[in-house]
Amino acid sequence: MEMTVAGVLTWLWLLSSVYFYRQSQPKMPKADTLTANTPASTLVLYASQSGQAQQVAEQLYQQLAAAAPDAGHTELACMSAMDVDTLVHYQRVLVIASTYGAGEPPDSARRFVQRLKHTAHQALAAHDSSFAVLALGDRSYTHFCAFGDYLEAEFSRVGMRPLWPQVQVDKLAPKDLSRWQQQLSQHFDVQPTSSQSNTLTARLGHREVLNPGSPNPALCLVSLQLQAPLHAVQAGDIVDIQINATERRSYSVANAPHSIPSGETNASTQVDLIVRQQMRSDGTPGLGSFYLTERLDAASEVKVIPRRGVDWSRVNAQVPLIVIGAGSGLAGVRSALCWRAQIAATHRAPTWCIYGERSATYDRPCDSELLNWQRDGTLQRLDRVWSASQGPLRYAQDVLHQHADLLRQYLLQGGYIYVCGNAQGLGQSVDLALHDLVGSTTMQVLTNQGRYLRDIY
């Protein structure tokens, strides 16, 4: 019986998935290879979804490596690169872990969590390793720092000793971070560091409603003029906006930031955000969205704290890219496409954009930009869907199911998937669709290889 092209692709996909999955597994020494002469050492281990935990972990690593002889040899690692039984190589493991969605671990921690779950009770007790957890979260979510709670309980279950009780941090609040710094000072020879060292200032440059006349909440483009060098913020980054003395809100950068000539020695950098006006359950406007879309004026200064999100410079520009977004997730999609447009002259690999909104009549944000990118070849394929439509394609996952062969073809060519949007809506639905279409093993391979990128909130 003749196999169809789709069937051949599927078999190739399955074979390559098994091969790459085996290749992606960490090649690390097993616990039974350790000896009594293993030097005292500290591992800074992080699990990050949007780059926040990674940034905190990198700062901690530099702090310990530079000024903490009591920490011994210090190493830094993402949870995706570690196996549970390798933790016993280290006398101390300092964990920086984010929680997102409904108390879920970051994508990079999924495999580690599965291994930890199947590690026997007190399996690591004989090696006398200790740990501490810095849990990052947002108290406005029901499952605040749930992944931090999970790690603390599981590390204790497998026989590791807590150095000090878990420290939970609400939206990177300085008072919470200072408690962690105090514990570090007591256990290691380090000086506390300031959490405000990378705070920049900006002013409003331009603001416009991207869905004028829509019965749905306004979606706004907010352009900030950042008083900072061009490379202080890059495409794919996240910026935290200081709303008041105690409140911050995080937003995805919506462009490839560029310099604005100012006639002075220091030019400013334009950073775009795309913000949906939000209403609280009591009918009052959302704090961050109201501030950026209504209150902030050109005369006011706003504090901006940039942090690394998706590092597009590390993404292979010569292979296909699938970008998927919905609603205000257009920010990350637009940023990715701006980056792709910048390199199009030298790297003409296929780019496929899937974007979902509510009404085909009123909700067509950045319409001319998307069409121009399609005309100039930056975009090889553009699929837009509207949830209020009556057709068969209403959501991003519907497009993936309809064009599953193209999805597999792009991934076989080494392609990347980037998703930006709400964790409980787009993030969860697209993730389920991808697991259904290419399999859980393949999705783990993509995650381990850094080819499944998500900016979800």
Q: How far is CA 373 from CA 188, 234, 333, 378, 382, in A?
A: 53, 20, 12, 5, 9
CB 430 within 8 A of CB 394: no
Domain shared by 132 and 276, yes or no: no
Is the pLDDT higher at 125 or at 14?
125
Q: Give the three-state DSSP class for 7.
A: helix
What are the strands, taking DSSP E only, across 277-348? 301-307, 321-326
DSSP state at residue 423: I
Other beta carbons within 10 angstroms of residue 348's beta carbon come to 14
Instruction: Assign 6 a pLDDT band (cuts: 50, 70, 90).
Output: very low
Quick check: is 85 in a domain?
yes
What is the overall mean pLDDT for the chain? 87
How many residues are recorded in the chain? 457
For the chain, the distance separating the N- and C-terminal CA atoms, rounded to the nearest angstrom, is 47
Quick check: is 6 in a domain?
no
Domain shared by 216 and 324, yes or no: no
Quick check: is 370 in a domain?
yes
Q: Of all helices (H) and strands (E), which one includes residue 434?
A: helix 428-438
Q: Give the three-state DSSP class for 375.
A: helix
pLDDT value for 37: 38
Instruction: Assign 140 a pLDDT band (cuts: 50, 70, 90).
Output: confident
How many angstroms separate the CA atoms of 222 and 441, rounded?
40
Q: How far is CA 376 from CA 322, 350, 352, in A?
A: 17, 12, 14
Domain shared by 336 and 407, yes or no: yes
Instruction: Assign 85 a pLDDT band (cuts: 50, 70, 90).
Output: confident
Is the pLDDT higher at 300 or at 194?
300
In 3D space, the residue among 429, 439, 234, 400 whose CA is nearest the CA of residue 322 turns out to be: 400
Whether the per-residue pLDDT at 350 is higher than 90: the answer is yes
Which residue's entry shows tokens 């002259």?
A: 345
CB 295 within 8 A of CB 327: no
Domain shared by 449 and 391, yes or no: yes
Q: What is the mean pLDDT of residues 205-221?
A: 96
The percent of residues in the chain predicted with pLDDT above 70, rounded, is 87
How many angstroms separate the CA atoms of 148 and 133, rounded?
7
Whether the per-residue pLDDT at 143 is higher than 80: the answer is yes
Which residue's entry shows tokens 């979260």?
A: 137
pLDDT value for 379: 95
Quick check: is 379 in a domain?
yes
Q: What is the pLDDT of residues 22-31, one digit of tens each?
A: 444 444 333 3
pLDDT value for 260: 66
Domain shared by 164 and 65, yes or no: yes
How many structural domains is the chain composed of? 3
How many angstroms separate the CA atoms of 218 and 215, rounded?
8
Quick check: is 76 in a domain?
yes
How many angstroms separate the CA atoms of 84 and 111, rounded?
10
Q: What is the CATH number of the domain that holds 149?
A: 3.40.50.360
Instruction: Assign 197 a pLDDT band (cuts: 50, 70, 90).
Output: low
Residue-range definition of the domain harbouring residue 360? 312-456
